[in-house]
Amino acid sequence: MSYEIPLFDLNFDEREEQAVLETLRSRWISMGPRTTAFENAFAAALGVRHAIALANCTTALHLALQTLKIGPGDEVITPSLTFVATVNAIRYVGAVPVFADIIGPEDLTIDADEVETLITSRTRAIMVMHYGGFPCHMDKIRVLAHKQGLHVIEDACHGPLSEYRGAKLGTLGDLGCFSFFSNKNISTGEGGMIVTNDDAYDARLRLLRSHGMTSLSYERARGHSTAYDVIELGYNYRMDDLHAAIGQAQLEKLPADLQQRARLRGCYLENLAAVDEIAVPFKDHQGFVSNYIFPVVLKQGTVERRDAIRTALAESGIQTSVHYPAVHRFTIYRPFRRELPRTEFAADHEITLPLYSSLREDQVVKICGALADALQRTR
């Protein structure tokens, strides 16, 4: 189906095209100088010591767990209201996902109070997900982690440049993971980044992302090394220079993109203020965030009504989505399932409305009007 107003649209122009062209003309397209430049620029933007570019965010989550030496039998507390990759990475290393509920329709992030009740002698880490770029309650999570000797991994795939008390998301735990999938704030098609302030973690991450090799192809091509050893079982998780060149162009455009998203969010809030049947998560949040998506949650009704509203919006030319089906409900995660009533309510009642920097305010007004009409017609 072709939509008049899609869920997302790329913020691409001649700058991305030129970045790719320059990379092609350089005759070096695998991981090399542009990847290094992107890593340095990303680290500087977040105010963190190290940024390691990877093939995608899933590899970042996997390497975060590997680097922290989390393995079979270890427990990792994580939300279920997230993309499945967050939890899949836990299973990649043989660890056990322990699902925590969210706070509720007004705040779709992990409930730090419930996290505290789930800590056992087998718990090794807390993996948070900053939903939509809005920060989890990191003060309590960090206190819990410090008190119990736990690691904190931030799935910050929604939150490049989002802040929590003046610090960038992804820099508040041991390791922070970012996604550059095609519908993210920074879009490279595929791609990811992991950040840390720990020098030892940085060294191990760089080793693991490239087969455990002690030198890279670009270094050998430039004569800096003529041989290499393999000292650990690593992976082919590298980013290449083509994706990195696009990423750097996107990063340079990101501040303006996020400012426009904030204005559009304000337009949404104004036009939905009188719609009593929905909750707008994080409505009163004041900090700077990426506004990756604009979710709304129906206050009552059924999943069938939610889907009927989405169908009505589609018939009006408006694409929507759901963020997310609850991971603990998937067949593969039945052995780890527990009661998560607030997560399940959100998964059954959430609708993601279009949000991207080229969206116009008159289109936001149309979306809000169509939503109000659909709510009326499905009562």
Whole-angstrom Cα distance, residue 359 to residue 260? Answer: 9
Whole-angstrom Cα distance, residue 88 to residue 83? Answer: 9
Active-site residue (options: 69, 140, 168, 184)? 184
Q: In one letter, which amino acid is 66?
A: Q
* Class for the domain spanning 255-377: alpha beta
What would the 3-class secondary structure string for the chain be?
CCCCECCCCCCCCHHHHHHHHHHHHHCCCCCCHHHHHHHHHHHHHHCCCEEEEECCHHHHHHHHHHHCCCCCCCEEEEECCCCCHHHHHHHHCCCEEEEECEEECCEEEECHHHHHHHCCCCEEEEEEECHHHCCCCHHHHHHHHHHHCCEEEEECCCCCCCEECCEECCCCCCEEEEECECCCCCCCECCEEEEECCHHHHHHHHHHCECCECCCHHHHHCCCCCCCCECCCCCECECCHHHHHHHHHHHHHHHHHHHHHHHHHHHHHHHHCCCCCEECCCCCCCCCCCCCCEEEEECCCCHHHHHHHHHHHHHCCECCECCCCCHHHCHHHHHHCCCCHHHHHHHHHEEEECCCCCCCHHHHHHHHHHHHHHHHHCC
C-alpha distance from residue 51 to each of 34, 48, 128, 195, 303 (Å): 13, 7, 19, 4, 41
Fold exhibited by the domain 14-100+107-251: Aspartate Aminotransferase; domain 2 (3.40.640)
Whole-angstrom Cα distance, residue 363 to residue 34? Answer: 37
Whole-angstrom Cα distance, residue 273 to residue 255? Answer: 27
β pairing state of 123-129 and 75-79 = parallel
pLDDT at 379: 87
Domain spans, the chain: 14-100+107-251, 255-377
76-79 long-range Cβ contacts below 8 angstroms, 24+ apart: 76/123, 76/124, 76/125, 76/126, 76/127, 76/153, 77/115, 77/118, 77/119, 77/123, 77/125, 77/126, 77/127, 78/110, 78/126, 78/127, 78/128, 78/129, 79/109, 79/110, 79/128, 79/129, 79/131, 79/343
Of 296, 264, 290, the closest CA to residue 106 belongs to 296
pTM of the model: 0.96
C-alpha distance from residue 340 to each of 77, 104, 201, 317, 337 (Å): 13, 11, 34, 34, 9
Whole-angstrom Cα distance, residue 84 to residue 328? Answer: 9
Whole-angstrom Cα distance, residue 302 to residue 291? Answer: 27
Judge whether 349 and 105 are in contact, CB under 8 Å: yes
Whole-angstrom Cα distance, residue 23 to residue 38? Answer: 13
pLDDT at 277: 97
Mean pLDDT per 10-residue segment, the chain (379 residues): 93 98 97 97 98 98 98 98 98 98 98 98 98 98 98 98 98 98 98 98 96 76 74 96 98 98 98 97 97 97 98 98 98 97 98 98 98 96
253 among known catalytic residues? no
Partner residues linked to 181 by β-bridges: 189
pLDDT at 2: 87
β pairing state of 102-104 and 278-279 = unpaired
Whole-angstrom Cα distance, residue 330 to residue 343? Answer: 13
